[in-house]
Amino acid sequence: MTTRQDLANAIRVLAMDAVQQANSGHPGAPMGMADIAEVLFNDFMSHNPNNPQWANRDRFVMSNGHGSMLPYAVLHLTGYELPIEELKNFRQLHSKTPGHPEYGYTPGIETTTGPLGQGISNAVGMALAEKVLAAQFNQDQHAIVDHYTYVFLGDGCLMEGISHEACSLAGTLKLGKLICFYDDNGISIDGDVIGWFADDTPKRFEAYGWQVIRDIDGHDADSLRVAIADARMEHDQPTLICCKTIIGKGAPNKQGGHDVHGAPLGKDEIAAAREHLGWKAEPFVIPSEIYAGWNAKEKGAAAEQAWTAKFQAYQAAYPTEAAEFERRINGQLPANWQESAQKAIDAIIAKAESPATRVASKNALDAFAPLLPEFLGGSADLTPSNNTFNKSSKYINSNHGPSQDFSGNYLSYGVREFGMSAIMNGIALHGGFIPYGATFLMFSEYARNALRMAALMKIRNIFVYTHDSIGLGEDGPTHQGVEQTATLRMIPRMSVWRPCDGVETAIAWKAAIEKTEGPSCLILTRQNLPFQARSAEQVAHIAKGGYVLKDCEGQPDAIIIATGSELALAMGAAEQLAAKKIRVVSMPCVDVFLAQEAAYRESVLPAAVTARVAVEAGVTAGWYQFVGLQGKVVGLDTFGESAPAPVLFKHFGFTVENVKAAVESVL
């Protein structure tokens, strides 16, 4: 008779065999958490291996992503399209089993994890998305959004500061359908964690407002079943189940020590483990009775079928809401989006206003947000400065009253830039929303790894960064972005928009909304910028990332390239150089411009014109790809100073006269 222990041991042997074959990996966590995974997936998880994208599935996140062989083993055993050959190819090129779980590679993997602490933070976003989506769509007797988010995490996730940011907010928001399993095995790479991690973790989470279930034997199925059932009964608090486990359990000579954490066990220890576990099958061979005990295809299909029946009843009672739910879950924009968005942009053009681009951003949100109920916005305690609360915004949480209305669409994240960004990633991954969140450009530094993860996962996420340069002024160099815009541009798949006025800002928002294969950053000013008049053709070309804003007859003598607040300086210099043929190119988004066809790029920046100057109030290095070594960059390769913005721009040479002189020097 197949026992629960046999089912859990299947995870252990697959983990140790795959790591051994790859000669690389982490067998300790999968072997130590195998019993928890067996109880969770066989007794509680609602998921369908036949349809990994089923909208109402429970989400599972392996936050301690180095233990990737645990989810790979479970997905294989339960019947996902992950054949044993893929487990044999663990950590090999183009396999579906990369070293850490990667979203988009493996069916059933909900998010890319590995940088510790971000998986739990993504999961907070998923649980938040579930709660908001339920509040927006569920009706009496019709709960079409009703699922849990489960997380495995270890000491490393809890040591990373982002876990504090995200878990603190999760407690405040009362995300009762978030259930986390703390793998309390006392071991990390350097050895026994007591020497550097002596926190009272249960008290910490109780202080956040979580339900904490302490001292669960992570190898006892009955205790685990009771703990999970208790966690699911608590609707007003997320739950942390503290599981005492033995890392590498089953490897008799190495279990419980740090040697089992991140290295193959070795052939001798694997042989000893097989004998210790009573596992007689050869490597990568799973007995049929074990597969039968794990297989979730029929149960998953039945669960989805039951939900489909619920949804059909909902559809009959609320056809408009049902259609909207399907549109949003499928990530589709409204049918009237293009027409309505263009009308909004035309209205902005007609007004010809000259606000700061952070204000222009709010104007764009005022126009676009009514069209996009899937917007879920927020700010890291800078809403009045970031201008992200628009006419259609409704707080989920605020100091305006004790109640939390989760039918809203705007979140105060508090001073949690990294946590906010990783939570936004989780919201995007859950589906049904287009998240955007804001802070000052300088504080993108705190969030950098979450931005990279959004790009790595190719998810639509919009990061709004205001106060973009020395134009911030008196707050000084600690708050003045100098290198941030340039380094954000270096992230693959990240579109970085630095618009020069309200028109470019609105089109940048539209482009970010429409981009489905990666995130976008909007880099916005504190100070007012002048409106730039354009032809209809020029307006159409803004979306190409770079275009000719001011031209001349015939081939130019020189080209000035600029972005954001410095575009006005380029235009002023061109006017003062009236005796010369000067072209001004606005380049609000470098990566989008570089993605255009060669013929278009040549039409904007003809190779024959080598006299070129780029102007941006930031570091210069990235601009030499456009101006060449013979060109000049009017930039800032130092930190700022504390003074009013106009004083700083003059002090650092951001004047029409200096741009003019730079052009003259290259002619």
**Residues acting as catalytic residues:** 417
Is 443 annotated to bind a ligand? Reply is yes
Give, as one character, the DSSP assignment of residue 142.
B
User: Cα separation of 496 and 303, whole Å?
Assistant: 42
The CA-atom distances, in angstroms, between 297 and each of 50, 56, 128 are 6, 16, 28
Provide DSSP, 553-569: SSS-SEEEEE-GGGHHH
Q: What is the 3-state secondary structure (H, E, C) of 329-370?
A: HCCCCCCCHHHHHHHHHHHHHHHCCCCEHHHHHHHHHHHHHH
Which residues, in sequence order, are bridge partners of residue 212? 240
The token duo for 288 is 């049929």
Is 187 annotated to bind a ligand? Reply is yes
Contact by Cβ (8 Å): 369, 535:
no
Interstrand relation of 191-192 and 187-188 (parallel, antiparallel or unpaired): antiparallel
Is 155 annotated to bind a ligand? Reply is yes
Among residues 376, 30, 44, the alpha carbon closest in space to that of 177 is found at 44
Is 295 annotated to bind a ligand? Reply is no
Is 400 annotated to bind a ligand? Reply is no
Contact by Cβ (8 Å): 485, 496:
yes
The token duo for 366 is 């005022």
Among residues 18, 74, 68, the alpha carbon closest in space to that of 42 is found at 74
Please report, as a single letter, which amino acid is at residue 615: V
Is 76 annotated to bind a ligand? Reply is no
User: Cα separation of 615 and 587, whole Å?
Assistant: 10
The token duo for 131 is 């709660």
Is 603 annotated to bind a ligand? Reply is no
Contact by Cβ (8 Å): 450, 477:
no
φ, ψ dihedrals at 549, nearest 5° = -95, -40
φ, ψ dihedrals at 201, nearest 5° = -60, -45
Interstrand relation of 547-550 and 558-562 (parallel, antiparallel or unpaired): unpaired
Contact by Cβ (8 Å): 120, 180:
yes
Residues sharing a CB contact under 8 Å with residue 607, sequence separation 6 or more, in sequence order: none
Is 100 annotated to bind a ligand? Reply is no
User: Cα separation of 469 and 480, whole Å?
Assistant: 5
Is 381 annotated to bind a ligand? Reply is no
Contact by Cβ (8 Å): 438, 388:
yes
Cβ neighbour number for residue 598 with a 10 Å cutoff: 7
Contact by Cβ (8 Å): 205, 181:
no
Q: Where are the alpha helices (DSSP H) in 437-549?
A: 444-457, 484-489, 502-514, 536-542
Among residues 653, 624, 508, the alpha carbon closest in space to that of 561 is found at 624
Is 467 annotated to bind a ligand? Reply is yes
Contact by Cβ (8 Å): 75, 108:
yes
Contact by Cβ (8 Å): 496, 520:
yes
Contact by Cβ (8 Å): 570, 615:
yes
The CA-atom distances, in angstroms, between 214 and each of 61, 175, 221, 641 are 21, 19, 15, 52
Is 137 annotated to bind a ligand? Reply is no
User: Cα separation of 295 and 6, whole Å?
Assistant: 14
User: Cα separation of 476 and 399, whole Å?
Assistant: 30
Contact by Cβ (8 Å): 84, 282:
no
Please report, as a single letter, which amino acid is at residue 369: A
Is 156 annotated to bind a ligand? Reply is yes
Is 24 annotated to bind a ligand? Reply is no
Length of the chain: 667
The token duo for 373 is 């109920």
Angle at CA of residue 358, ends 352 and 363, nearest 5°: 50
Binding-site residues for Mg(2+): 155, 185, 187
Binding-site residues for substrate: 26, 261, 358, 385, 467, 475, 479, 526
Binding-site residues: 26, 66, 114-116, 155-156, 185, 187, 261, 358, 385, 443, 467, 475, 479, 526
Binding-site residues for thiamine diphosphate: 66, 114-116, 156, 185, 261, 443
